[in-house]
Amino acid sequence: MGAKAKKSLKKKMIKKVVAKRAVSRPMDEPSNFLPLEGGSAGRQLQGEKPVKNVATVLYIGRIPHGFYEDQMEGFFKQFGEIKHLRIVRNKKTGKSKHYGFIEFEDPEVAKVVADEIHGYLLFEHRLQLHLIPPERVPPKLWKGIGRWYKPFDWKEFARKKHNKDRTVEEHEKMVEGILKRNEERQKRIAAAGIEYECPDFVGMVPKAKKIKFDDEDED
């Protein structure tokens, strides 16, 4: 069979299939497929309303060091009015956790920022921006953002705890713990074959014991 014969046979088969479908489905019956977008058949269905964008809060991820509240506000205010801004920080150290949130006054501005700045390279970090629907915004997201964050000073806490005034019982308990740890340390030193005794603990209290080595002469 030549090429022309194959082409003619293919056309006849297509015509038969189309004719069969036309008989099986009436012309006034609606088709069971969705129209393509952009064409005349892609118009919105009757009664369907377009979804209006009302999200104004953005999640910002992969925030680099040095890009803090002041720098972030200076960068994003060129797009529109900023209502709230927050970088999530560690409660103990006060350091940035590399993500935060920003809220704009205009939803259209928030959408433009999410579309255009997502993936923006900043200090070798690609910013990740996503719109957050209003129903998913936590009610306490912006609580306390106007206050200056002061991390807890653990060094000062440990210094005060170490230097506090102690009673006689507390002092004796502290010395007992020091001597107990020193005795364990002296055993490890003796097991290593080293003859050493810390002079700071010799004669500290009557409970202090001297480690006796195996090679010492017995009295």
CATH number of the domain where residue 69 is located? 3.30.70.330
Residues in contact with 118: Cβ distance below 8 Å, sequence separation at least 6, in sequence order = 127, 128, 129, 130
Tell me which residue range forms the domain holding 82.
57-136
Kindly state whether residue 123 falls inside one of the protein's structural domains.
yes
What pLDDT was estimated at residue 5?
Answer: 63
Domain match, 112 and 67 both: yes
- Split into its structural domains, the chain has a count of 2
Kindly state whether residue 88 falls inside one of the protein's structural domains.
yes
What pLDDT was estimated at residue 80?
Answer: 94
Kindly state whether residue 217 falls inside one of the protein's structural domains.
no
Kindly state whether residue 37 falls inside one of the protein's structural domains.
no
Q: Phi/psi zone of residue 108: left (φ > 0), alpha (ψ -120 to 50 degrees), beta?
A: alpha
Domain match, 181 and 123 both: no
Kindly state whether residue 147 falls inside one of the protein's structural domains.
no
CA distance 185 to 193: 13
Q: What is the pLDDT of residues 45-71, one digit of tens each?
A: 555 566 677 899 999 999 999 999 999
Q: Does 209 score more than 50 pLDDT? A: no
Domain match, 130 and 63 both: yes
User: Could you give the residue ranges of the DSSP H alpha helices within 40-153?
Assistant: 69-76, 107-117
Q: What is the mean pLDDT of the chain?
A: 78
Q: Measured between alpha carbons, how far is residue 110 from residues 38, 83, 113 in Å?
A: 26, 11, 5
Kindly state whether residue 108 falls inside one of the protein's structural domains.
yes
Domain match, 130 and 86 both: yes
Domain match, 192 and 126 both: no
What pLDDT was estimated at residue 206?
Answer: 46
Q: Among 121, 136, 151, where does a domain finish?
A: 136
Token output for 116: 């255009």
- Number of CB atoms found within 10 A of residue 76's CB: 19
Q: Is the pTM of this model over 0.85?
A: no
What pLDDT was estimated at residue 91?
Answer: 79
Q: What is the pLDDT of residues 21-46, one digit of tens each?
A: 555 555 554 545 455 554 544 455 55
Query: Both ends of the chain: CA-CA distance in Å?
Result: 120
Domain match, 69 and 124 both: yes
Q: Among 88, 116, 136, where does a domain finish?
A: 136
Q: Which residue has the higher pLDDT, 203 or 102?
A: 102
Helix, strand, coil % (nearest 5) of the chain?
40, 15, 45
CA distance 105 to 79: 11
Token output for 156: 């000062």
Q: Residue 99 corresponds to which amino acid? A: Y
Kindly state whether residue 215 falls inside one of the protein's structural domains.
no
Domain match, 130 and 169 both: no
Closest-CA residue to 88 (of 154, 144, 152): 144
Kindly state whether residue 73 falls inside one of the protein's structural domains.
yes
**CB of 65 closer than 8 Å to CB of 90:** no
